[in-house]
Amino acid sequence: MALACLADSVVILTDEVQLDAFMTNYAEDTKHHKPLFVLSGGSNVLLPAKLNAIVLRPQMRGIKVIAQTDAYIDIEVMAGENWHDLVVYTVTKGWYGLENLALIPGLTGAAPIQNIGAYGMQLEDCLQSVRAYHLPSRTWHDLSAVDCEFDYRDSMFKRQPNTWLISRVGFRLHTDATKVRASYGDVQIVAQDYAAQHGRSKPTPADVMHAIIEIRQQKLPDPKHLPNCGSFFQNPIIPQAQFTALQSYYPTIVGYPMPDAMTKVAAGWLIEQAGLKGGGIAPIVTHQQQALVLTNHAPYIATKQDVAAAQKYIADTIYEKFAIQLSREPVWVNTNGSIGYKEHVV
């Protein structure tokens, strides 16, 4: 979101042994204890102007093949690998499964935290394992996908802030070029077009990846040019009965059925219908092509409070109009490095 932030100190970690060494010193130095804060790529955090914490930055690199058969390939990826580069690398190698998650900003180590998802897939669909360091007990843990307790935009890592540092993520990918997930919205049409242009009757995983890159580039602002942290709000999950009642007033409302008689509502639709596409409180306003994304038009000058003001204004407007409470998606970091989880008003 390009908010200026000055931290007490930053420790760059390029291997796991460095973390062990740092934590041993940290545990012994009880006099100067500052809180620890783990920062990955920084694409989904809202940082304070002054961060009174020691920032740990996992930047271990490397991609290793762990096992391979004709049907699948298991890889282990170090936390500091750029996520989009990993997607392109795997698809180019003919290892499929991550293609729908192309162009999501950030590093691989942060991907499990909020179980990144887009275009009909979530990280948990391919994830096999996570190696993570438990900061309070100073121990390493090899976790399975079940241990991670994934949910929509959520995991046990997100529910236990400042507790885990992820160093490796393991994936099981497949080699079947006919197996694609292309049923989400525009993806089907754009991927089919892309395949046809290249003389193929059906899209391959690479065609799906290219289609998704094209769709994202059209709809979503590039954080390098217009700072943003992707979807700012989660899509709210409301009772099916409330959704049906809203549908009678707003026949075009967009929702997806969920288990337990619930419906996930497209927050972008709600914001647009409330007349807030391009609206907010300057310099933080919603994006013209995708109202779910808040953009910062004053990089390094705007503060977290500016973001909070825009968040409150948008969330209050939506609540008044639809009686639906929006929850923030990016992580809210306090001056002492603690994390404000999911609150509506900050």
Contacts with ligand EPU by CB under 6 A lie at 118-119, 185, 220, 230-231, 234-235, 254, 266, 268-269, 272, 277, 290-292, 329
Cα-to-chain-centroid distance, residue 214: 19
Minimum CB separation of residue 329 from ligand EPU in Å reads 6
Query: For ligand EPU, which is the closer residue by CB, 155 or 290?
Result: 290
Minimum CB separation of residue 316 from ligand EPU in Å reads 18
Minimum CB separation of residue 233 from ligand EPU in Å reads 7
Question: DSSP characters for 180-192?
Answer: ----STTHHHHHH
Choosing from 131, 216, 231, 328, the catalytic residue is 231
Minimum CB separation of residue 128 from ligand EPU in Å reads 22
Choosing from 61, 76, 149, 153, the catalytic residue is 153
Closest residue to ligand EPU, judged by C-beta, is: 230
Minimum CB separation of residue 328 from ligand EPU in Å reads 10
**What span, in angstroms and rounded, lies between the C-alpha atoms of 340 and 161?**
9
Tokens coding 241? 């009965």
Q: Please indicate whether residue 153 is annotated as part of the active site.
A: yes
Query: For ligand EPU, which is the closer residue by CB, 131 or 158?
Result: 158
Helix and strand totals (H; E) in the chain: 8, 20
Phi, psi angle pair for 251, to nearest 5° = -60, -20
Tokens coding 306? 């500016």
Query: For ligand EPU, which is the closer residue by CB, 277 or 312?
Result: 277
Tokens coding 196? 């046809």
Tokens coding 210? 């290219």
The arrangement of strands across the sheet holding 339-340 comes to 45-46, 331-333, 339-340
**Residues 6+ positions from 330 with CB-CB distance below 8 Å:** 1, 44, 45, 46, 229, 230, 232
CA atoms within 13 A on the CB side of 72: 10
Q: Please indicate whether residue 329 is annotated as part of the active site.
A: yes
> Taking the C-alpha atoms of 263, 268, 269 and 270 in order, what is their torsion angle to the nearest 10 degrees?
80
Query: For ligand EPU, which is the closer residue by CB, 25 or 183?
Result: 183
Query: For ligand EPU, which is the closer residue by CB, 74 or 193?
Result: 193
Choosing from 16, 81, 99, 329, the catalytic residue is 329
Q: Any idea which residues carry the catalytic annotation?
A: 153, 231, 329
